[in-house]
Structure 1
């Protein structure tokens, strides 16, 4: 069956007979989700520059923020499809690069040479100086992990239609979070002061388990948000069911 213009070339008719449905991005809801997703990623990049030790657990200061970006990615992928999710990923990627460039300019600008000015400059360099390296780690990890997460979720939806949402969320999250965590930790570990292999393994394992666990715990919340979005998106389910997502 031919694919309609502006849609992903993924089959949308589920084996169960229940068609996979998606919405266009004509309403304001997508813009709100995209803005929140970008802010969460930018803030988590800043927080990730600080190493955090909670007893035997080694993590970073962005640990409580980053899972939210994946939850938002799940919502966008489920409601709008892979092509729109990919647009959100690349837009968030570009905004994070822009934020990192702004940090670099702010640090490079000449400041006051009194005691207060030099103290503030040192604080900015200490807080935002490592961020470009963290951003590199985060962006590469985010790009790979979110793309895998979204692609798997939409492929599973193409097979199951509107059924088994929990399986799509959990299955895609495990794969996406693992790739994301491994890439991020491999690049970011030296920046935040992780030098030995045992601590690095701790960092990777704790990061993966924590992010995945948070997503699993918040599955009911993700369900509610997705259900709310589907009911309020005027175009949800009105597109031809022979396609898997709409670019908008």
Structure 2
């Protein structure tokens, strides 16, 4: 008689806290999330070199100041939350480093493009001047973004990871709410302070308005996106076989 043996159960990954599991980065979702984060960071760096004013709030004198990348950058934090929750803080750090490495390469490329001799006609010289004006300050924005996002996203990922270690799969919404405000506060203060000169901000009042509005907007977007973010995270967890295998291998809690 032929003996039938069942496949061995997946072994728990050593070194993982009992309540937190993460998927392998080699699964099909990580590369898509990383590509999206890199794209958002590069486009934000270009857009943020432009100062944007929506006028003043009637009766207050408060000027609504932001930059051209304001509608993009909160998406980088949303993607960072997803990567941290699904793949862990190490993968989130890798995504941040990759994003800004590519962004630095892009800035160096802009420098070379500007340095190349233009056509000597009127149109060529006008285009050269426009490129210098538009892309010339991008390196300052990239530096500001590197400092701010690295600090803010590191704090954001740390909060998500620590809370997940304690709570396991429970409390996803709470993790997203808690981490968003802290990360965005640190990021916004650092970014706005360094990038102010590139954007054209020259006074303390403008800096304060830019910083306060930037923080409030970024946190509002992240909070508004939490239902979508959590739904995406749950979907990716369900459809990632490595995550499900490691979740099944966890010891039962009392």
Do the two structures share a fold, i.e. TM-score over 0.5? Answer: yes
SS in 1 for 2:176: helix
Alignment of 1:214 onto 2:247: no
Task: Tell which has more relative contact order, 1 or 2 (C-alpha 8 A, sep 6+).
Answer: 1
Match of residue 103 from structure 1: 110
Query: What is the number of residues matched between the two proteins?
Result: 231
Match of residue 158 from structure 2: 151
User: Aligned equivalents of 2:97 and 2:182: distance in 1?
Assistant: 19
How far the C-alpha of 1:153 sits from its partner, in A, is 0.5
User: Aligned equivalents of 1:104 and 1:186: distance in 2?
Assistant: 23
Match of residue 12 from structure 1: 17
Match of residue 40 from structure 1: 40
Q: Which one has the largest radius of gyration?
A: 2
Match of residue 72 from structure 1: 79
SS in 2 for 1:218: helix
Root-mean-square deviation (CA, aligned residues, Å) is: 1.6
SS in 2 for 1:27: coil
How far the C-alpha of 1:238 sits from its partner, in A, is 2.5
Q: Mind listing any 5+ residue stretches in structure 2 that lack a counterpart?
A: 1-11, 56-62
How far the C-alpha of 1:241 sits from its partner, in A, is 4.5
Q: How does 1:52-67 map to 2 (within 5 A)?
A: 52-55=52-55, 56-67=63-74
- Which contiguous aligned blocks of 4+ residues in structure 1 show a shift greater than 4 angstroms? none
How far the C-alpha of 1:158 sits from its partner, in A, is 0.6
Out of 224, 240, 243, which is 1:236 matched to? 243
Match of residue 166 from structure 1: 173
Match of residue 49 from structure 1: 49
Alignment of 1:177 onto 2:196: no
SS in 1 for 2:198: coil
Deviations 1:80-109 (A, max 9, x none): 011111111111111111111111111111
SS in 2 for 1:49: coil
TM-score by length of 1: 0.89
TM-score by length of 2: 0.87
Deviations 1:15-45 (A, max 9, x none): xxxx222111121210110001000000001
